[in-house]
Structure 1
Amino acid sequence: MDQHTQEQHADDLGERDLRRLMVALHKVLRELGEDAVAERLPWRAQWLDDLPAASAAGDALAGDAAQHGLQAYSIAFQLLNHAEENAVAQLRRATARLGAKASEAGSWEQVFAQARGRGLAPEEIAAQLRVLRIEPVLTAHPTEAKRQTVLEHHRALYRLLVERENSMWTPAERAALDAATEAALERLWRTGEIYLEKPRLQDERRLVLHFLAAVFPAAVSAFVQRLRQAWESAGFAPALLAGPDALPQIAFGSWVGGDRDGHPGVTAALTAETLSRHRAAALALADEGLAQLAAKLSLSVHRQAPPPSLLAAISERSEALGEAGRAALERNFEEPWRQFVNLLRAALPGAGEIPAAGAFLRAAELDEALGELTEALSAVGADRLVAADVEPLRLQLRAFGFHLARLDVRQNSAFHDRALASLLSVAGVAGGEDYPAWSAVERRALLEGELATARPFVRAGQAPVGEAAAVLGCHEVLADELARHGPDGLGALIVSMTRSTEDLLAVYLFARDAGLLAASDDGWACPLEVVPLFETIDDLARAPAILDDYLGHPLVRRSLVLRQARDGLPRPQQQVMVGYSDSGKDGGIIASFWGLYRAQRALAAVGHRHGVQIRFFHGRGGTIGRGAGPTHRFVRALPPGTVGGDLRVTEQGETISQKYANRGTASHHLELLAAGALAATAFDVAGRSDPADLGPIMDRLADASRGCYRTLIDAEGFIAFFGDATPIDIIEASRHGSRPPRRTGRRTLADLRAIPWVFAWNQSRFVLPGWYGLGTALEALAEEDTAAFERLLAAKAETADRWPPLHYLLSNIATAWMTASPGVMRRYAALCEAEEEGQALLAMIEEEYERTGRLLEAVYGAPLAQARPRIQRVLARRDEALAPLHRHQVALLARWRALRADGNDAAADALLPELLLSVNAIAAGLGVTG
């Protein structure tokens, strides 16, 4: 199946499913008395041929029916998303049936074929897989516009859609599935779309726990099954991937309950409670797995003699567990393998403070015991049962342990400055209250002196109120967790907006005062990683020098060695987080991309000089303006020598539901991450490098695009234009997440988070963070250096010499540019109070939009609608239904702002639910928020 045939097949499947779902929605709405809304659902002529087309789709958004119309549109867009997701999933299945998976971008089969093409033997590929590690990290940024209850209803709808694909159903059974779909749609309609109140952190944590405990275990199992199927279909020996030790390591992280950057609701108590809930969920998962294993291992002594090692292990473990052990042996007398599993269940620790006698302290101990069970089964030739029953549990245990996910703690460097100032003031250090204004030299002198002593500024629990109490309280929780349960559930201490080495060394002082440091042979060391987060363009440029200084510090070196020995690493490892969101807001998409690219190469080189493996943590968001893009292309576009078989990446907001809500989709995205990491690592082994002549060209593009971008956002009246020409005020009033949209509450562009920045531009269809500046940069290059421009075009061409970073960047920008809509931009720009300034800024944006489109046409050799027909079809379908929503939202914004300006707050508040529904509906239509 060639690419065109695949795309056409996917389109046909999507049309079929959308038609079925929309007919069902139409029927439900009619039966509920919503005739006016039902008759004006989007795409009506395409799926309800027996009725005349509605006279005006916008009528569904008029008068008293507007809120119902908005909700119907939002649901319709979600149904379109489900239809497209299922179409892609079914296309993957069809490709597998035809044995054509090697043609599927990012698949295991494609990566294996490419690796062999680079000269790697199966044994070399297997060796890379054995040390591969991927870790998606779930965050709670406020970009999920749908309520948790609504998300669950949508998951149920999708499951019904997939279930109906089975060809075995009788007509009656299909009718039952259709009835269930209609019931799900009615349930969704009656629930409502928007948050009635701002979600609490506990609500966000409950949603993340659902994914971690209920979705990911099955997805990991499906991921392993897919990997082995692809391995064998490539003609490789199955023995090379036999056993859990031969497989990639999958782990999960979370920021929910640990990320306190600009979020006053994340307290020490909430972090402690989150760690406890993680542990309880993980132990419940392990207990359920052991219970299922015990039910399966009903091997009788009458059919096979148990090996002496198993009997000895039963006796030893029973004695260690005391009464609990004896109770476990009172059943299944003639089934010793099952008895052994019963003993393992009895040895699971409780989620509380004190472990019982004989209980496992760490998940690794249970994994080792399951290894003994594996040997006892193999001794009687039951290797099939090992593979079918024991190994899946061991893989689950290695992924989730007794901790479920590693909880990172993130705080802003400016917050740490204020906390340390408070501590210095209490400790009587002269001028300590002015620490945020101290020079780097003054800070370093203080830090070096304090880190040489073990005495704290204050005793535990006696920190002054405010920032100091918040920081020390959090670190004391981590110290307690480390002492009771070990490091498995604890992630990194991440410093947002890292500006200097001193920002990182300050964290060691807090760790000292909280009792978090540990003694080593040469002095104190920190058992948790202190991780810089480089976010702005300038900070990324300074990052290599900061890391070089940091890795050379004796306390840091001791900490690296301590963690290396504890974790059994081949060499010391330092995590570095790079931020895609704020760098994009700061300098535009090209300067952000290239700044990140150059920084990662330089940071990896710094680590190499210090003998330290740099583990990059990619803080990318869910939209192109915040670093998103096709997963496999993102990984392939990372700089040579920076992946190293280890990929840690954030999954934010609505992308969690989009990628992981369903087992098949979740498994597929894990495959894209792992296969991409394998490809990058394998190609590095094979000598991958960047073309030497393209770096200087990218430097010129980054500089020119950043200048163009900064000219716009630094222009007189731009902040007012942004406030008027986008629904940022509604987004800030929304109830999407628990986190405030601004770090400190100041109404400045610097204080505004990247998420609402991108969200607002998307809603008004400027999509400005995703494309602005490219046209000017390419035009300047073409005019000043024709040879360089031609070289760039050749590097983008669809040939074997294509450079992945450039292809990824330009493809993403092209998608963002195609998503923008000049006509819709003008509608929102008409809302500007300063009309003359607003029109001047709109003219700048429109001119750059036209220039970018013209240059992209030169890059692609054709208009984008022609060069990328499938994306054009997808966007055109959405635009048809989005047009009335944008008109309605602009009219609502004008009324709402006028009412507020007149002081009529009651009337303005009455409009707010309808405005929030419009935000949800447009977000659903675009498939993204911020």
Structure 2
Amino acid sequence: MKSTYEIEVGKRFTIYNSLFLDLPFDDIYQTGTLLPILGSACEKGLEKGMSPKEIIEKFFEEMLQSKSEKERHDVLFQLIQYVERQVVLFDSIEDAAFEKINEINGKGSMRALVARAEADGNRKKLIEKLKTFSIRITLTAHPTQFYPGNVLGIITDLESAIESNDLEHINLYLQQLGKTAFINKSKPSPEEEAASLLWYLENVFYFSIPDIIFRILKQLNLSIHDWDNPQLFQIGFWPGGDRDGNPFVTHEVTKTVASRLQRWILKCYYRDIRKLRRRLSFKKVEPIILKVEGDIYQSLFADQENPIQKDELLSQLYEAREAIITYHNGLFLDLLDEYILKIKIFGFHFASMDVRQDSRKHDGLWKEILNTDQSPTMEELFSTQSLPESYQDDFHKEMVESFKTIPLIQKQNGEEGLHRYIISNCQSELHIMEVYRLAQLTFPKEDGLPLDIVPLFETIDDLANAPGIMRSLYQDERYSKHLKNRSMKQTIMLGFSDGTKDGGYIRANWSILRAKEELTKVSKEFGLAVVFFDGRGGPPARGGGNMHNFYASLGTEVENEEIQVTIQGQTISANYGKEITCTYNLEQLLSAGLENHLYPTPEKQLSNEQREILEQMAKYSYDAYKDFKNHPKFVPYLEHITPLKYFGEANIGSRPVKRNKDEGMSFDDLRAIPFVGAWAQMKQNIPGFYGIGNAISTMEKEGKLEDVKKLFQDSLFFRTLLGNSMQSMAKSNYKATKYLSEDKEYGEFWKKMHSEYQESLKYILEVSGMNSLLEETPVIKSSIAIRERIVLPLITIQQYGIQKLLENPELKDEEVYQRLILRSMFGIINAARNAA
């Protein structure tokens, strides 16, 4: 597979990269000629221990001696733009080769799993699990995608041209890239974020999800019409509903986004019914199909206030189906059944919106409602029979309006359109009951509250306390009655991102697994089905990496009725940006959950001895990470050295970098994305590995190194954990910031993190038995190596800007260096694909 990768991706990139030199732009030949010289200078210079400033200044002296300082910096900006477009070209080449460098029908595919189940007598068991299982992918607007929409469109066309080796169009699209801005002039609004993700719903998920289901049913010889689990795949949607720290999301925005979701799915249905009508031209059938087409048209273009309802639409289609069977021998019945199943899958909502808000905001609202400075008691919550007609705080008024909006959307899009309220920073039973009572007071007075209340446990302490909180909640008669009305199902969200930010890599992952196991026990005790919703990001530091192995490794102690996970930013475009990649990754998730049920193997179950080892390592790594996090230079380093503050200026998302914008820099208020992203920009990737080296070295001192090695061999969970961490370390480059080791203020701090990096690298290789990182995943290893080589000039230029500002705080032209830092960010993060 590696040799295939080198031919299909590596060699192609070398060939197509030469096309840049022929682009008809000013100074393009000079830029294209200088870039490999700078790249080589960066590689050799860092190897020799030169600082980024020394490398760049030597480059200036050797190649741009006659140029003024301004002209020299202009060349750097041109080089940055050139590299950005190289990254796009590489992405497109890699994506175009997806089918050749990935085993589409191999391990992890549904074709392989169904064939295995057929062969070993597990067919019936597989079918029964498929009837109740579900995968829910929730698209979020979290800002990790630096490409504006028009650039994404060019990338899509470029991929197609590369797949067909269409040199003429490749050249044209590269020219278009050269003329197209890579930076948004202003921050996108929540509505614009929603619109960008709607593209994926309409052009990718709408086709991939039904296709997977149709193929599975065909392979298992099951009837599409009789299939009773259309929710095998579900799409969640956060843009327009995620209010946590985002003042730009209002109840009006929520209503607007919900309307757009319905309108877009109706557009898809209208497009398909027009195609279907061409086949179903029979007597007693065609009039019904024409009626359906007309009703959808009316809903889209004429009477948008009173669209046709889902049940009414399905009723007409079932009538047409009966007529096809009765009068036309079932001709083209399969086409109609496929259309009906699409409507069952996507409904009139397309994707299910979630509302999310921080528990501290609910506390504040209740304090105003009760006119008190203290947090409310449970008795006060339920003694309140109505809400005030007016509020002193406009934000509190807006929160109440958000609750009132939910039933309106349910009436318009169906209950599936918005039926969950997620509580960030949930730390007590009271935080959940505050939301429950607010919903009771704002929803129409009907039997049963049509809302699932989802606590989000994030910090290490919150994860440890979660089982006790949920036990208390389950024992509350009021909430217990609510759960009976919600099919005895409780969804609980767990935050990988903030968990890692709070407790470090091993502690967070182990704490989440332990929390899942304990929450499963508690929920079963009360006769409840618990569903875990994982708040994951792209990189391993935020719960990313190899998700297939992660979900396959959870064992039988964790409830396995559904897999729910957030997908965001670059992970959406990289893993779900076109049908083939979307299908592949959805199948990987589905087969992981099913495989865990069908084939529980010893490597997926943790013995008491293995748990003890993991607990010890989690403790040691947590101690090391806490010590590092409590270092007096930790927050100052993030604030003054890393590009953290520039994330807010990148215009990639509507959310602020931190929750409380009016307060100074605080670790607790830092959002996980810029936190992880800042370390990724510095090529230090602290959240993805810190503490591993300390943990394993401590185990070695206790004579338990062989136990850790055996754990790696025997436990898929631990193997996946270290494998994902290897990705973080492979994207690290401490040579680029070695100059900081000499800094009077931050030198000791840099040496501390570098020491842990070296120790982690040493012990990960020793425990895994590998000679180099990612030795057993050569395609990932090659991809990372090429990407890091492409952006090495950007890394050096960015550090040059940081170093100049650090050494000369009073620089008159500091804005130039700040711009260099900011402009370098785009290419660095895009090349990493899952860096934040």
Q: Could you tell me the TM-score, scaled by structure 1's length?
A: 0.82
2:419 is paired with a residue whose SS is strand
Counterpart for residue 921 of structure 1: 827
User: Is 1:449 aligned to 2:383, yes or no?
Assistant: yes
Query: Which residue number corresponds to residue 545 of structure 2?
Result: 629
1:290 maps to: 273
Is 1:804 the equivalent of 2:709? no
Output the amino acid matched with 1:340. I
Match of 1:390 in 2: 336
Change (3 A) 1:611 1:43: farther
Whole-angstrom CA distance in 1 between matches of 2:267 and 2:724: 42
Task: Please name the residue that 1:160 is paired with.
Answer: 161
User: Secondary structure of 1:748's partner?
Assistant: coil
Over 3 Å counting, the alpha-carbon distance change for 1:199 and 1:481 in structure 2 is: closer
The partner residue of 2:196 within 207, 213, 222 is 207
Pick aligned residue for 2:32 from 10, 32, 38: 38
SS of equivalent to 1:867: coil
Residues 281 and 247 (structure 1), Cα distance of their counterparts in 2 relative to 1, 3 Å cut = closer
**How far, CA to CA, are the matches of 1:541 and 1:260 in structure 2?**
26
User: What is the rounded CA distance, in whole Å, between the counterparts of 2:645 and 2:814 in structure 1?
Assistant: 13
> Could you tell me which residue of structure 2 aligns to residue 174 of structure 1?
none
Counterparts in 2 of 1:42 and 1:448: CA distance versus 1, 3 Å: farther
> Contact 2:139/2:572 (CA < 8 Å) preserved in 1?
yes
Alpha carbons 1:638, 1:805 under 8 Å: kept: yes
CA spacing shift, 1:866–1:126, aligned 2, 3 Å:
closer
Contact 1:201 1:256 in 2 (8 A): yes
Q: Are 1:135 and 1:253, in contact at CA under 8 Å, matched by a contact in 2?
A: yes
Displacement of 1:641: 4.5
Report the alpha carbon displacement of residue 371 of structure 1 after superposing the two structures with TM. Answer: 3.4
Counterpart selection for 1:541 from 455, 464, 472 = 464
| 1:664 shift after superposition | 1.1
CA distance in 2, matches of 1:806, 1:715: 29
Match of residue 563, structure 2, among 644, 647, 650 = 647
Aligned partners of 1:213, 1:660: CA distance in 2, in Å? Answer: 12
In the alignment, the residues of structure 1 paired with residue 276 and residue 602 of structure 2 have an alpha-carbon distance, to the nearest angstrom, of 42
RMSD: 2.9
Q: What one-letter code is carried by the residue in structure 1 that aligns with 2:86?
A: A
Could you tell me which amino acid in structure 2 is paired with residue 811 of structure 1? G
Q: Corresponding residue for 1:582?
A: 498
Specify the SS of the correspondent of 1:575.
strand
Are residues 1:882 and 2:791 paired? Answer: yes
Cα offset, 1:683, TM superposition: 3.4
For 1:404 and 1:775, locate their aligned partners in 2 and report how far apart those are by CA, in whole Å.
46
The residue that corresponds to 1:491 in the other structure is: 419
- Aligned pairs for 1:513-912 (under 5 A) are 513-514=441-442, 516=443, 518-520=445-447, 525-564=448-487, 572-683=488-599, 689-745=605-661, 746=663, 747-786=665-704, 789-797=705-713, 802-827=714-739, 835-865=743-773, 867-868=775-776, 869-895=778-804, 901-902=809-810, 907-909=813-815, 912=818
Residues 558 and 484 of structure 1: CA distance in aligned 2, closer, same or farther (over 3 Å): farther
1:775, CA displacement in angstroms? 0.7
In 2, distance between residues paired with 1:699 and 1:212? 41
Q: Percent identity?
A: 24
Question: Contact conserved, 2:571 with 2:833, CA < 8 A, in 1?
Answer: no
SS in 2 for 1:263: coil
- Aligned with 2:348: secondary structure? coil
What is the rounded CA distance, in whole Å, between the counterparts of 1:12 and 1:685 in structure 2? 37
Question: 1:344 maps to what in 2?
Answer: 292
Of residues 915-924 and 11-20 in structure 1, the stretch that sits farther from structure 2 once superposed is 11-20
**1:134 & 1:865 partners in 2: Cα distance?**
31
Per the alignment, in what secondary structure is the counterpart of residue 16 of structure 2?
helix
User: What does residue 75 of structure 1 align with?
Assistant: 85
Distance between the aligned counterparts of 2:592 and 2:412, measured in 1?
A: 37
Offset at residue 618 of structure 1 (A): 0.8
Paired AA for residue 758 in structure 1: V
Shift of 1:45: 11
3-state secondary structure, aligned to 2:486: helix
> Kindly tell me: are residues 354 and 476 of structure 1, through their superposed partners in 2, closer, same or farther at Cα, counting changes over 3 Å?
farther
Q: Is the 8 A contact 1:129 1:247 kept in 2?
A: no
CA distance in 1, matches of 2:223, 2:198: 34
Q: Deviation of residue 481 (structure 1)?
A: 2.3
Corresponding residue for residue 52 of structure 1:
none
Cα separation, partners in 2 of 1:843 and 1:217, compared to 1, 3 Å: same
Inter-CA distance 808–918: structure 2 relative to 1 (3 Å threshold) = same
Task: Give the residue type in structure 1 aligned to 2:828.
Answer: I
Query: Which of 10, 13, 17 lines up with 1:15 in the alignment?
Result: 10
**1:674 is matched by which residue type in structure 2?**
L
Is the 2:637–2:746 contact (alpha carbons within 8 Å) kept by the matching residues of 1? yes
C-alpha distance in 1, partners of 2:740/2:142? Answer: 26
1:193 matches 2:102 = no
> Aligned partner of 1:669: which letter?
N
With 866-875 and 119-128 compared, the bigger mean Cα shift is at 866-875
C-alpha contact (below 8 Å) 1:424/1:457 kept by paired residues? no
Q: Mark the CA change 1:345 to 1:19 in structure 2 (over 3 Å): closer, same or farther.
A: same
Q: 1:333-372 residue pairs with structure 2 within 5 A?
A: 335-348=283-296, 350=299, 360-361=308-309, 363-372=310-319
CA distance in 2, matches of 1:624, 1:199: 27
CA–CA distance in structure 1, aligned partners of residues 729 and 603 of structure 2: 35
SS of 2:285's partner is: helix
8 Å contact kept, 1:531–1:577 = yes
Cα pair distance change 1:354/1:551, threshold 3 Å: farther
Could you tell me whether the CA contact under 8 Å between 2:97 and 2:163 is conserved in 1?
no
- The residue that corresponds to 2:396 in the other structure is 468
- Residues 84, 244 of structure 1: alpha-carbon distance in 2 compared, 3 angstrom cutoff: same
Name the amino acid aligned to 1:187: Q
C-alpha distance in 2, partners of 1:593/1:161?
A: 39
Distance 1:153 1:484, change over 3 A: closer
Q: What does residue range 48-63 of structure 1 map to in structure 2 within 5 Å?
A: 62-63=72-73
1:336 aligns to what SS in structure 2?
Answer: coil
Letter aligned with residue 702 of structure 1: A
Following the alignment from structure 1 to structure 2, what is the Cα–Cα distance between the partners of residues 805 and 686?
Answer: 11
Distance 1:415 1:639, change over 3 A: farther
State the Cα distance separating 1:511 from its structure 2 match: 1.5
Do the aligned residues in 1 keep the contact of 2:419 with 2:450 (CA within 8 Å)? no
Q: Report the Cα distance in structure 1 between the residues aligned to 2:264 and 2:645, rounded to whole angstroms.
A: 39
Cα deviation digits, residues 793-834 of structure 1 (max 9, x gap)? 22322xxxx32211110101122122212212324666xxxx
Amino acid at match of 1:928: N
Match 2:94 to one of 69, 74, 84? 84
**CA separation in 2, counterparts of 1:449 and 1:354?**
43
C-alpha contact (below 8 Å) 1:458/1:513 kept by paired residues: no
Change (3 A) 1:805 1:339: same
TM-aligned CA distance change 1:501 to 1:129, over 3 Å: same
Q: Which has the larger radius of gyration?
A: 1
In the TM superposition, residue 529 of structure 1 has moved relative to its aligned partner by 0.7
Determine the structure 2 residue equivalent to 1:106: 108
Quickly say closer, same or farther: Cα 1:394–1:464, change in 2 above 3 A: farther
SS in 2 for 1:519: coil
Gap runs ≥5 in structure 1: 1-5, 47-54, 165-176, 232-236, 300-334, 426-431, 565-571
> Post-superposition, which runs of at least 4 consecutive aligned residues in structure 1 deviate over 6 A?
43-46, 55-61, 351-357, 685-688
Residue 446 of structure 2 aligns with an amino acid whose one-letter code is: A
| Cα offset, 1:111, TM superposition | 3.0
1:224 & 1:242 partners in 2: Cα distance?
A: 12
User: CA contact under 8 A between 1:660 and 1:666: conserved in structure 2?
Assistant: yes
Q: Does 1:508 align with 2:497?
A: no
Secondary structure class of the residue paired with 2:423: strand
Instruction: Give structure 2 stretches of 5+ with no counterpart.
Output: 41-57, 65-70
Aligned residues: 808
SS at match of 1:379: helix
